[in-house]
Amino acid sequence: MKKSPRRSTTQVRVTWYGHSAFGFESPEGRRILIDPWLENPKAPPGARDISPVDAIFVTHGHGDHIGNTIEIANRTGAKVFANYEVSLYLQKAGVHDVTGMNKSGTVSVHGVNATMVDATHSSGIETGESILPGGDPAGFVVEFENGFTVYHAGDTGVFGDMSIIAELYEPDLVILPVGGFYTMGPKEAAKACQLLKPRHIIGMHFGTFPVLEGTPEELQRHLPPAMRKKVHLLQPGETVGLA
């Protein structure tokens, strides 16, 4: 996905719903969800009732990322995109419009382009009785109609090829896990920021459970002074407009 020339300074509205769940409203009014676990312990009241939704992107098979995908997709008619194995699970679970894709693949939804990129994590799908193969974990690079580009890293540790993501896609906003234990913590996320060189940074996957101890404030302390002001400290349910 080659980044399009910036066509305007119109903002993309970014809402954090707690954990790794994010919503985006594009300049043309398209509404996108990534990893919509909208009943997580930090989610604002009524989050799971969101509507309308044009597309949902799922980074991997863990329940705290598939979240409420099935019910939201079938209620709103949103298109769902995930890796091939997760897409088969969602299809069997009753999602009507789901597309399986893989890393480096790009899809377009009403002028919003999304490319699946690498992540270092696991992806097994827990059914309550067994764990199903969930393919490889991923992140998504989403380019909106005005050229503003978001990299949602999914669950991951820092890896050197983030520099390739920076070179290919030039993300304006990076959304990175900072909680540690299951993902990278603040120190590793700071290194990721230095590889990615974004204009905006948002931390995720922290504070949901006691073991996720890292915070965006700690991330700031690990960043070079010139990058610290790029970190947006959001509360669950808060929306920020970025351009």
Question: How does residue 8 score in pLDDT terms, banded at 50, 70 and 90?
Answer: low
- Phi, psi dihedrals of residue 138, rounded to the nearest 5°: -150, 170
State how far the Cα of 68 lies from the Cα of 72, in Å rounded to an integer: 6
State how far the Cα of 219 lies from the Cα of 107, in Å rounded to an integer: 32
Would you say residue 7 has pLDDT above 70?
Answer: no
How far is the first Cα of the chain from the last one, in angstroms, to the nearest whole number? Answer: 20
Amino acid at 178: V
Whole-number mean pLDDT of the chain?
96
Whether the predicted model's global pTM rises above the 0.85 cut: yes
Q: Nearest-CA neighbor of 80 among 25, 26, 17, 36?
A: 36
Name which CATH class applies to 12-242.
alpha beta
pLDDT tens per residue, range 199-241: 999 999 999 999 999 999 999 999 999 999 999 999 999 999 9
pLDDT of residue 129: 85
Mean pLDDT of 181-196: 98
pLDDT tens per residue, range 24-56: 999 999 999 999 999 999 999 999 999 999 999
The neighbour count for residue 172, using CB atoms within 10 Å, is 20
Q: Which residue has tokens 């380019």?
A: 143
The residues spanned by each domain of the chain are 12-242
> Are 197 and 172 spatial neighbours (Cβ–Cβ below 8 Å)?
no
Would you say residue 2 has pLDDT above 70?
Answer: no
